[in-house]
Structure 1
Amino acid sequence: MLHNSFLARLARGNLVLQILAGIILGIALSMIAPQQAESVGLLGALFVGALKAVAPILVFILVAASIANQKKNQHTYMRPIVVLYLFGTFTAALTAVTMSFLFPTTLTLVSGAEGATPPQGIAEVLNTLLFQLVDNPINALKNANYIGILAWAVALGLALHHASASTKALFEDLSHGISQIVRFIIRLAPFGIFGLVASTLATTGFSALAGYLHLLFVLLGAMAIIALFVNPLIVFVKTRENPYPLVFQCLRESGVTAFFTRSSAANIPVNMALCEKLKLDEDTYSVSIPLGATINMAGAAITITVLTLAAVHTMGIEVDLLTAVLLSIVAAVSACGASGVAGGSLLLIPLACGLFGIPNEIAMQVVAVGFIIGVVQDSAETALNSSTDVIFTAAVCKQKQKQNRPQ
């Protein structure tokens, strides 16, 4: 009876407070008993594994069901959301350029990235994305290729648009069933994040980051400007309302989870649940959230730009304004393809370094620096990327809802 009562209280409790308690307990355990802290990392690995496992099938079923059951003359708001995604990523790159010029960083280069193979150019990044689009659907689900999953889900949804009512109802019931599984997994977040925090601090600590505090300051400063000033400004322009309640809710309920899971794919179910809580248009967010996990990459654009300009300053290369703007464009386009390249945003740094004629050997040493600070950089990057998906989707949905409201 006591056991059941505890589980019931846990299920009804405030999830954000429970996650905060998990973070504090994880930090405490890593300081008091580091060996035990490493072993509880299993909880974190299981939580992230469960999210990653359910996300592809959730996206596929939800997108296919929402398109198949879409009523005639019912419009989604995808075009303005995609425009915001691309604009936000480019703005992030420009912000990173500004921060890098205001606080120039030079690096003590290290080795350690020799085994990685970066793409040879933007053409290769775009080529990868195109082939992801026509990937085998089973392979796309297996490898969490969200571009391929989206393409097949949209195609199936359109094909089922004229199916019988019972077939559409089946897909609708499947989407509700998958959503219930997702809600159960998300309720386990406090245990997962407790394991992630405890094991990460016990194995890496933060001593390795001390030599890169200036670089982290520039990276995190640029990300904070986007999260706390640029994104709210965009929301205000769209909704003409105070943007901060929405922004802080998204950072709290999406950003915190993404920070510790360090996976945009794993955070898709969290974002879907948050969009449902915000009462956004399901036909819109069921497509915009998985798409955002692929192309809305403000954090990745900042990482590529800041680390590239750190290499530029280290090499003593002069950069004019036109080249800086060109770097922003390259970083924004590359960031949109980051999820399609093994190693994510860090392996796109040599591509951007190529603009300045920096040799690949030097560029890969900068990548190695990225891996050293990755415990903070990658976490903050994912938190910004993932929370912004919901912020932009909510801004557009709220704007359209206001416009469609009877006067």
Structure 2
Amino acid sequence: MLKFSGIKFGLLSKLLLAIILGIAMGSLDFLPLVRLMATFNGIFGNFLGFVIPLIIVGFIAPGIGDLGKGAGKLLAITAGLAYLSTVFAGSLAWLINTLALPSLLQGNVFSIGEQQEAVIAPFFKVDMPPLMPVMSALLLAFILGLGITIQKGNAIKNVMKEFQLIIEKIISTIIIPFLPLHIAGIFAQMTYSGQAAMILSVFIKVFAIIFALHMLMLLIQFTVAGALTKQSPFKLIKNMLPAYFTAIGTQSSAATIPVTLKQSLKNKVSEEVADFAVPLCATIHLSGSTITITSCAMAIMMLNGMPTDFSLIFGFVMMLGLTMIAAPGVPGGAVVAALGLLEAMLNFSLPLTSLMMALYMAQDSFGTACNVTGDGAISIMVDKLNKQKGEKVPTKQIEDLQSV
């Protein structure tokens, strides 16, 4: 965390400062400075494109491998509810955004990438072709993940775990620290070409829709949980508020686990189920993040005249629920894990994925807060279904999950 004269700057503060500096640089109307930023953006963007397939393999394969050796029916119930919640959240986001965004975006269009580069060309380029296409990386990740679950030994699993640590280090020491500079470059170019003011005005409205969708999703989740257990959904939500506000501060589902666990117990979830479901949901249940990614992606696509029909977005959401399994444990980890799908399924160029990261991380804490609060609702549902089925949670599985 950056310190200056006693002031600490977190990632969100750095991103906001980067946007302000980028707009300031673009407003100077000094082309060489903007071209310098475009040169950095080209190098960083190409590196990001190179790393995306590695991120997919490095996180999805170990994530599937860990889930595959879980606790039988209880794991299936928890993972199934988490996945259904995530897919429903993305579908709800598609519906609301399809109804609301056209009127908000009417008359606004923008281009970033090849057309912009024709005006603001970088001084030079450094090509970094990825080792494999995104879909090949996805297939390889699923094959390796499933392979880990059927192998009796741990050799492949250990290799993939170590590879995951390498990718985590790349994200935490290269991608995240340099991202604010990359964002500054994007907004410098957009300001120079006269698009920044429009983008900011549009996405303030989009963020308002996202926040409203988060609240609606939580109300739906706890209404279902309350109906199953005959409890007031508003009381259940009130008990989970400490977890919500803790997540806003930490921007991490994993770091909020102790608070989520404590508040879930106040909602009458059995300690055995809470100890199992809360840590698991922290890595596989991302309804808030899905709402944010889907909404931001649709806004960008509509501004660029790209199709946003249900079949396209629903397929993207279904894959998103799988690829975000064990997303990187850093702020913005969900969108980092989703970069490959944005490119492969929604035809996002590297400049668009970079803009997507900036928009997502600007409100990442609220998406995380929605995720962890929803974990409490999933835990209530799992506990109710578990009591009906009489499934026992293996002690070793609880210990493994709590060590995540």
Question: TM (normalized to structure 2)?
Answer: 0.55
Residue identity opposite 1:135 in structure 2: N
Work out whether residues 120 and 351 of structure 1, in 8 Å CA contact, stay in contact via their aligned partners in 2. yes
Work out whether residues 238 and 399 of structure 1, in 8 Å CA contact, stay in contact via their aligned partners in 2. no
Deviations 1:253-304, CA, capped at 9 Å, x for gaps: 2111011110111111222222344453233222211111110111221122
Work out whether residues 226 and 232 of structure 2, in 8 Å CA contact, stay in contact via their aligned partners in 1. yes
Give SS of 1:338's match. Answer: coil
Change (3 A) 1:343 1:135: farther
Deviations 1:81-118, CA, capped at 9 Å, x for gaps: 3221111001111011112211225675678xx99999
Q: Are 1:388 and 2:374 counterparts? A: yes
Match 2:206 to one of 209, 215, 223: 215
1:166-177 equivalent positions in 2, closer than 5 A: none
Rounded Cα–Cα distance in structure 1 between residues aligned with 2:342 and 2:307? 15
Rounded Cα–Cα distance in structure 2 between residues aligned with 1:400 and 1:78? 10
Q: Are 1:366 and 2:363 counterparts? A: no
Give 1:247 shift.
Answer: 2.1
Q: Are 1:86 and 2:86 counterparts? A: no
1:119-158 equivalent positions in 2, closer than 5 A: 120-121=134-135, 122-123=138-139, 126=142, 134-135=157-158
Rounded Cα–Cα distance in structure 1 between residues aligned with 2:273 and 2:212? 32
Aligned position for 2:234: 244
Give SS of 1:103's match. Answer: helix
Mean Cα deviation higher: 118-127 or 316-325: 118-127
Q: Are 1:225 and 2:216 counterparts? A: yes
Give 1:218 shift.
Answer: 2.5
Aligned position for 1:274: 263
Match 2:309 to one of 315, 320, 323: 320
Work out whether residues 301 and 331 of structure 1, in 8 Å CA contact, stay in contact via their aligned partners in 2. yes
Residue identity opposite 1:396 in structure 2: V
Structure 1 gaps, min length 5: 1-33, 42-66, 146-206
Rounded Cα–Cα distance in structure 2 between residues aligned with 1:77 and 1:281? 14
Deviations 1:344-386, CA, capped at 9 Å, x for gaps: 1223145234324333333333333334xx2xx2011110111
Give 1:403 shift.
Answer: 8.9
How many percent of aligned residue pairs carry the same amino acid? 20
Give 1:243 shift.
Answer: 2.1
Change (3 A) 1:140 1:214: same
Work out whether residues 125 and 337 of structure 1, in 8 Å CA contact, stay in contact via their aligned partners in 2. no
Change (3 A) 1:256 1:340: closer
Aligned position for 1:190: none
Rounded Cα–Cα distance in structure 2 between residues aligned with 1:330 and 1:137? 21
Rounded Cα–Cα distance in structure 2 between residues aligned with 1:352 and 1:384? 22
Residue identity opposite 1:82 in structure 2: A
Give 1:138 shift.
Answer: 9.8
Match 1:334 to one of 307, 313, 323: 323
Work out whether residues 305 and 331 of structure 1, in 8 Å CA contact, stay in contact via their aligned partners in 2. no
Mean Cα deviation higher: 99-108 or 322-331: 99-108
Match 2:383 to one of 375, 379, 397: 397
Rounded Cα–Cα distance in structure 2 between residues aligned with 1:329 and 1:270? 29
Change (3 A) 1:132 1:281: farther
Change (3 A) 1:124 1:309: farther
Give 1:78 shift.
Answer: 4.1
Q: Are 1:295 and 2:284 counterparts? A: yes
Work out whether residues 89 and 291 of structure 2, in 8 Å CA contact, stay in contact via their aligned partners in 1. yes
Rounded Cα–Cα distance in structure 1 between residues aligned with 2:346 and 2:230? 42
Give SS of 2:305's match. Answer: coil
Give 1:223 shift.
Answer: 1.4
Work out whether residues 350 and 363 of structure 1, in 8 Å CA contact, stay in contact via their aligned partners in 2. no
Mean Cα deviation higher: 306-315 or 293-302: 306-315
Give SS of 2:158's match. Answer: coil
Rounded Cα–Cα distance in structure 2 between residues aligned with 1:243 and 1:224? 13
Work out whether residues 264 and 376 of structure 2, in 8 Å CA contact, stay in contact via their aligned partners in 1. yes
Change (3 A) 1:282 1:128: farther
Work out whether residues 86 and 296 of structure 1, in 8 Å CA contact, stay in contact via their aligned partners in 2. yes
Rounded Cα–Cα distance in structure 2 between residues aligned with 1:249 and 1:291? 20
Change (3 A) 1:93 1:317: same
Work out whether residues 316 and 341 of structure 2, in 8 Å CA contact, stay in contact via their aligned partners in 1. no
Rounded Cα–Cα distance in structure 2 between residues aligned with 1:222 and 1:270? 23
Rounded Cα–Cα distance in structure 2 between residues aligned with 1:101 and 1:279? 38
Residue identity opposite 1:291 in structure 2: L
Give 1:220 shift.
Answer: 1.6
RMSD between aligned residues: 4.3
Match 1:256 to one of 245, 265, 270: 245
Rounded Cα–Cα distance in structure 2 between residues aligned with 1:387 and 1:93? 17
